[in-house]
Structure 1
Amino acid sequence: MSTTTGIGSLTFRPLDPTRDAELLHGWVTHPKAAFWMMQDAGLEEVERAYTEIAADDHHHAYLGLHDGEPAFLMEKYDPAQRELVGLYEPQPGDVGMHFLVAPAERPIHGFTKAVITAVMEFLFADPAVRRVVVEPDVGNKAVHALNAAVGFVPEREIQKPEKKALLSFCTREQFEKAVSA
């Protein structure tokens, strides 16, 4: 669990592809989720995608809860096995991450930064994790700023099959320094 002053409690639970599909469908097809690249996905396609993740030993999805209510999605993956195979030299202790904050009727100032901070705390709670790897779309300036705020350092642009991405890394030390500043 992670609690952020002024924000409330942020917790995680494993995503249930069947139970959570309708909720996720609304999130990933929302205009604000354009970089998630599922804008035209149907409900069945969303459920199928997350059922595949649930069955994958190298990719996991979690529903993020804000004061017990669904509010964000987090995926972690092994970049040596998924997403970045052949695109960079993985190191022991690397974990890949994606996150998506649900559209909100009443946005809370600082919420998205609190979410990415909680996501990083969750990932680094595993002592085997030494570095978090992300590959957001090069055009996603908002997430680049959030990544920088929690210690990510861009390395280079890479071409993935679905997008041009900014490969960035954050070590445990970089994260701790960024959030303590």
Structure 2
Amino acid sequence: MTTTLYARTVEGLGTVRIAPVDPDRDAPLIHGWVNEDRARFWGMGGTSVEQVREIYAHLDSLPTHHGFLVTRDDVPVALFQTYDPEADRVGECYEVLPGDVGVHLLLAPSAAPEPGFSGRLLGALVEFVLRDRTRIVVDPDAANEKAIARMVRVGFVPGPEVVLPEVDLPEVFLPEKRARLAFLTR
């Protein structure tokens, strides 16, 4: 049974629901999304369904990082992650303030079927995150011009380009990444 953490009807979009990723149930769906070329910036290309399940099971075990499946009228449209920047490599690249929260967003392959979709969806996600936080930080790949432009359209203020350091732990490996930070304050 999926526990909805947030639900809101968005005019012109439908009902947006946010629920924790269930690694066992959602791994095949997420696997399909992250292995498309359009998701190359997500950094999980070439993973197997089992590896995706393991990654999200690990994420689910952390008190500082959370994965969510976002639906529109009960159809999955996005993978959304939140994290405490002090417990993440991005925290090494800027001055983390009390109330900061980091987010990552991957839209489903068929998620933006009409103009304004991503902006409306992002509005609901921002509202969800800023209920108990004061500032959002995003760190899209510096080469991901579409994501950076989308964040600016929603109101994020571009920050510096940084190099996120490599993470090489037994449970996770993340290669070094050039990222463009951006911030949205409540």
Pairwise same-fold verdict (TM > 0.5): yes
Distance 1:106 1:12 in 2: 17
Match of 1:139 among 140, 143, 147: 143
Q: How many residues align?
A: 170
Matches within 5 A, 1:24-173: 24-104=30-110, 107-126=113-132, 129-160=133-164, 161=166, 162-172=176-186
Secondary structure of 2:95's counterpart equals coil
Task: For residue 116 of structure 1, report the CA deviation from its aligned partner.
Answer: 1.5
In structure 2, list runs of 5 or more residues that go unmatched: 1-6, 167-175
Task: For residue 87 of structure 1, report the CA deviation from its aligned partner.
Answer: 1.4
Task: For residue 105 of structure 1, report the CA deviation from its aligned partner.
Answer: 8.1
Distance 1:63 1:114 in 2: 16
Distance 1:100 1:28 in 2: 8
Distance 1:34 1:3 in 2: 31
Question: Does the CA contact (< 8 Å) of 2:140 and 2:179 recur in 1?
Answer: yes
Q: Percent identity?
A: 40
Of the structure 1 ranges 160-169 and 131-140, higher mean CA displacement relative to structure 2 is found in 160-169
Of the structure 1 ranges 102-111 and 136-145, higher mean CA displacement relative to structure 2 is found in 102-111
Task: For residue 103 of structure 1, report the CA deviation from its aligned partner.
Answer: 0.6
> RMSD in angstroms over aligned alpha carbons?
1.4
Distance 2:12 2:155 in 1: 22
Question: Does the CA contact (< 8 Å) of 2:77 and 2:111 recur in 1?
Answer: no
Question: Does the CA contact (< 8 Å) of 2:112 and 2:118 recur in 1?
Answer: no
Question: Does the CA contact (< 8 Å) of 1:116 and 1:146 recur in 2?
Answer: no
Distance 1:108 1:4 in 2: 14
In structure 1, list runs of 5 or more residues that go unmatched: 173-181
- TM-score when scaled to structure 1? 0.89
Secondary structure of 1:148's counterpart equals helix
Distance 1:33 1:44 in 2: 18
Secondary structure of 2:62's counterpart equals coil
Q: What amino acid is aligned across from residue 6 of structure 1 in structure 2?
A: G
